[in-house]
């Protein structure tokens, strides 16, 4: 483990140089890693581990869409693909990758298969941190830890196939065997992490819920919608409004920020853009800071987790979700986005002439 200094704060990190794949394979050579859930994180983590030579099996409800997906991905029924309870019995490390609501429902079944010396692995601190709401309290003779990739399972898999790694956090909640650190880091390397930084379950879920509702999804959609609306109401076309709000950010500027940082991006744009960005960013910070504080307080109090559990446990949750997503999808902003994406050169068929964006959204 290395100790790095980030802006005056020391952090413990593990890199692939100091903990190479060969070491991870040695640590996990006698383990059976059971992936329970093959939805968001499950496929990427399972496939990356399999490709890295780890003995990984998938536990999923038979004949479900996720079961069929696992079959298509090359997992074999009776050899590496099992019904959930059999996978729980076979696994020595249980990767609990179901949704938070599904984890609550399945927990009694999982718990009875957590025999002494096994490990319970999460990619989210939700179930453990809010155990007064979830009821997820592991027995004290098993290791409990997490590896949380900082991105979707799709991104984890895509970056793995490109020879890159997606950074992940890791945390140990319970070290019953004395080998929790080696096990969790080995798994972090095996799933394709770029580097691993230390956290704890509470900090992971607090930052994760804040991030999802904030800059990663909620806040950025709100900012997109606000700017797009202002431009449209001031007479700008849908194409112009979308390109200046979303397309230029995602296709041009954010890749530069990812590569070199915001200061480098500022230094390499026009002087007019520099001046405006430097003048206005603190105004946006000051305007949104109270909202982010309110958001974090709601996460820390358990209000956000409770709302999530109550909402996602309703029998008509999927129907309500589709209605909300439909409203988003059919908004002028994202209808414009659909057309703009179709006009990118890589999506064009030379035999067809692109339709004007206004025709597509009117």
**What are the residue numbers of the active site?**
124
Is 157 in contact with 43 (CB distance < 8 Å)?
Answer: yes
Q: 80 burial class (0-12, 13-18, 19+ CB within 10 angstroms)?
A: middle
The phi and psi torsions of 171 (rounded to 5 degrees) equal -155, 145
To 10 degrees, what angle do helices 218-233 and 332-342 make? 90
Secondary structure (3-state) at 167: strand
Alpha helices in the chain (DSSP H): 21-27, 42-51, 65-72, 84-90, 100-112, 126-129, 131-134, 153-161, 180-190, 201-213, 218-233, 238-242, 248, 254-260, 262-267, 271-301, 303-312, 317-329, 332-342, 357-361
- Max CA distance (Å), the chain: 67
How far, CA to CA in Å, does 59 sit from each of 197, 202, 250?
28, 27, 36
Sign for the CA dihedral angle at 238, 241, 244, 247 comes to negative
- Separation between Cα atoms, residue 179 and residue 188, nearest integer Å: 14
Cα–Cα dist 361/339, whole Å: 8
Characterize the bridge pairing of strands 166-174 and 143-149. antiparallel
Cα–Cα distance, 33 to 39 (Å, whole number): 17
Q: Cα separation of 221 and 241, whole Å? A: 14
Residues 6+ apart with CB under 8 A from 225: 331, 333
Distance CA 87, CA 57 (A): 7
């Amino acid at each position: 483990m290395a100790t790095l200094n980030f802006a005056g704060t020391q952090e413990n990190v593990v890199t692939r140089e100091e903990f190479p794949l060969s070491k991870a394979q040695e640590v996990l050579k006698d383990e059976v890693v059971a992936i329970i859930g093959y939805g968001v994180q499950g496929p990427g983590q399972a496939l990356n581990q399999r490709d890295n030579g780890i003995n990984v099996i998938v536990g999923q409800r038979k004949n479900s869409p996720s079961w069929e997906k696992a079959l298509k991905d090359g997992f074999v029924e009776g050899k590496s693909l099992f019904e959930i309870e059999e996978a729980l019995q076979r696994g020595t490390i249980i990767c609990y990758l179901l949704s938070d609501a599904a984890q609550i429902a399945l927990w009694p079944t999982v718990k009875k298969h957590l025999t002494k010396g096994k490990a319970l692995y999460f990619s989210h601190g939700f179930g453990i941190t809010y155990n007064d709401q979830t009821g997820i309290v592991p027995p004290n003779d098993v290791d409990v830890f997490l590896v949380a990739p900082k991105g979707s399972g799709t991104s984890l898999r895509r970056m793995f196939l490109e020879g890159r790694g997606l950074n992940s956090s890791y945390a140990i909640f319970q070290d019953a065997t004395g080998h929790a650190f080696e096990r969790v880091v080995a798994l972090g390397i095996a799933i394709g992490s770029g580097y691993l930084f230390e956290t704890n379950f509470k900090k992971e879920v607090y930052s994760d819920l804040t991030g999802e509702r904030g800059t990663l999804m909620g806040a950025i959609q709100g900012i997109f919608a606000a700017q797009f609306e202002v431009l449209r109401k001031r007479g700008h076309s849908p194409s112009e409004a979308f390109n200046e709000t979303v397309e230029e950010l995602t296709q041009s500027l954010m890749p530069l920020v990812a590569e070199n940082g915001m200061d480098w991006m500022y230094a390499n744009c026009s002087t007019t853009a520099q001046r405006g960005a430097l003048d206005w960013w603190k105004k946006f910070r000051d305007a949104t800071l109270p909202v982010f504080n309110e958001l974090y307080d709601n996460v820390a109090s358990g209000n956000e987790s409770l709302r999530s559990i109550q909402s996602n446990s309703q029998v008509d949750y999927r129907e309500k979700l589709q209605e909300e997503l439909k409203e988003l999808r059919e908004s002028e902003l994202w209808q414009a986005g659909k057309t703009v994406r179709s006009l990118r050169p890589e999506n064009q068929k030379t035999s067809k002439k692109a339709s004007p964006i206004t025709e597509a959204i009117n």
